Amino acid sequence: MKKYDLEDRLLEYSAGIIRLVERLPKTRAGNHIAGQLIRSGTSPYSNHGEAQGAESQKDFIHKMGICLKELRESERWLKLIFRVPLMPQEDGTLSFVQKETDELIRIFATSIKTAKSHL
């Protein structure tokens, strides 16, 4: 059974976001979405680091909530990329990032719920 470190997963996720953004078309729409997605998609990695250094349980929950919010925003941008489409549907980077976004949303939502139950 492989052990997953959330920090490593978020690092690889951010790298996947960057790889995907670099492949978007250099059009008005592509550039706009690229800017939005690179912000929301790389934010969970750094905000998770902030959560690890939280000063209290409430601070931890707040910072984890920021990660969750940014992941949900990224999920929306990815759906739009898929819908337009701005990338080929069979692109491996797009499918990896979409799947990982869903899994990370579930992880963060569960972590927040667990942390709230310990208040």
Options 1.10.1200.10, 1.20.1440.60, 3.40.1000.10, 1.10.10.10; CATH of 6-117: 1.20.1440.60
What is the per-residue pLDDT for 64?
98
CA terminus-to-terminus distance, the chain: 32
pLDDT at residue 90 in the model: 79
Give dist(CA 65, CA 61) in Å, integer.
Answer: 6
What's the confidence (pLDDT) of residue 92? 87
Q: What are the sequence ranges of the domains in the chain?
A: 6-117
All residues at 6 or more sequence positions from 3 whose CB lies less than 8 Å from its CB, including other chains: none
pLDDT tens for the chain, 119 residues long, are 455 699 999 999 999 999 999 999 999 999 999 999 999 999 999 999 999 999 999 999 999 999 999 999 999 999 999 999 999 877 788 999 999 999 999 999 999 999 999 98
Stretch (H or E) spanning 44: helix 28-52
Report the alpha-carbon distance of residue 43 to residue 32 in Å, rounded.
17
pLDDT recorded at residue 111 = 97
What pTM value is reported for the model?
Answer: 0.94
DSSP 89: T
